Amino acid sequence: MNHVLGFSVFGVDWQFLKPFIVIGLAFGGVYALSGVGLVVLYRATGVLNLAFGAIGAAGALIAYYLLNHTGCPEWLAFTVCVLFGGVVNLAYGMVFGPAFARRDPLVKMMGTLALALILLGLMAWRAPIGGAFARFLPLPSTQHHYDVFGTVVNLTQIISIVLAFAITAGVSVFLRVTKLGTAMRALANDREITATLGVPVRRVEAAAWFGSGIACGAAGLILPDLITSLDYSALTFLVIASLAAALIGRLQSLWATCFGGIAVGLAQSVVSPYGAISAYRSAAPFVLAIAALLFLSRRRVVTISRAGT
């Protein structure tokens, strides 16, 4: 009967895929939020932060410890998780940012990779994974369920996708209408000229590092609830999908990054129930990023010339 009513289109059973679409949208919201944070930082400082996922994972572990070993209120532990991302990001940017300011983008990126490895090592030392012990960081919003188009959706999943769009819209407006946002856009175009015009470069960069870190902390708080496990190694590699979203936006467009993150989440989730291709779901971020880059550069003409002609 469902097929007659139109739930099966082009051989796809949409009724069967609905739960996977919901999950994909939720994960896509986290990827979009993270990708926007990466793009904002890159546009202001030229740094592609590979430690994004590791910082969020460390913040989530701190929140877990506060909740389970100190009797800390939930709201305070969650706030610490988000602020931890901002503070660590800011500290790294203020200490190492000036030293790497005039270095190649690859050198800047490798510096953040070192930070990711340090954090991953610290987490493995203080909170080893293995045995029968598992860590969970559920959010209260998970207990609230709603029926949306015949599919059960929890409040965390709704928050994930809504927050992605809200942050993207808010940052877009911020960059256009505020003095600090204008300074960030100018800094992205030319750091030296912006500095000569009297713009406080260090202050603008500090705002970019801190704001990106807040997005990092928020992603680190939401993702453990979505995957129902506080696996810091999985959270660390969140940066892969986020980077794919940022590349889809060509490290420039916030909205393209947002929709790119959602597309990555959907692609990974929708192929999960199909055994033939589910093993390749981890390749979805790379496939989508490459396809988007090829599509966006399709009108460029490459010419080859010979010297002396």
| Tens digits of residue pLDDT in 149-185 | 788 899 999 999 999 999 999 999 999 998 888 888 7
- Check residue 298 and give its pLDDT: 64
**pLDDT value at 270 more than 90:** no
Spatial CB neighbours of 16, under 8 Å, sequence gap ≥ 6: 273
Q: Name the H helices within 13-73.
A: 14-45, 52-69
Rounded CA-CA distance 236/138 in Å is 18
More confident residue, 275 or 64: 64
309, two tokens: 């002609």
107, two tokens: 């050198």
Helical axes 179-189 vs 14-45, angle rounded to 10°: 80
Query: Measured between alpha carbons, how far apart are the two ends of the chain, in Å?
Result: 70
| Tens digits of residue pLDDT in 219-260 | 999 999 998 888 888 888 888 889 999 989 988 899 999 999
Degrees (nearest 5) of the Cα angle 152, 168, 99? Answer: 125
81, two tokens: 């998780």
Query: Residue 152 forms beta bridges with which residues?
Result: 147
Helix, strand, coil percent values for the chain (each to nearest 5):
70, 5, 25
Rounded CA-CA distance 197/252 in Å is 23
**pLDDT value at 292 more than 90:** no
283, two tokens: 């390749």
Look at the block and give the residue holding tokens 């396809």: 291
Whether the CB-CB separation of 215 and 167 falls below 8 Å is answered with: yes
List the helix and strand counts (H, then E) for the chain: 13, 4
Spatial CB neighbours of 151, under 8 Å, sequence gap ≥ 6: 18, 19, 21, 22
- What are the two backbone dihedrals, phi and then psi, of residue 13, each rounded to the nearest 5 degrees? -85, 95
Rounded CA-CA distance 186/205 in Å is 12
pLDDT band at 13 (very low <50, low <70, confident <90, very high): low
Rounded CA-CA distance 156/141 in Å is 5
Whether the CB-CB separation of 47 and 213 falls below 8 Å is answered with: no
Residue type, 150: G
Checking phi first, is residue 71 left (phi over 0); if not, alpha (psi -120 to 50) or beta? left
269, two tokens: 């989730």
Rounded CA-CA distance 93/47 in Å is 9
| Tens digits of residue pLDDT in 92-121 | 999 998 888 778 888 889 999 999 999 999
Rounded CA-CA distance 54/119 in Å is 6
pTM, two decimals, is: 0.87
pLDDT band at 2 (very low <50, low <70, confident <90, very high): very low
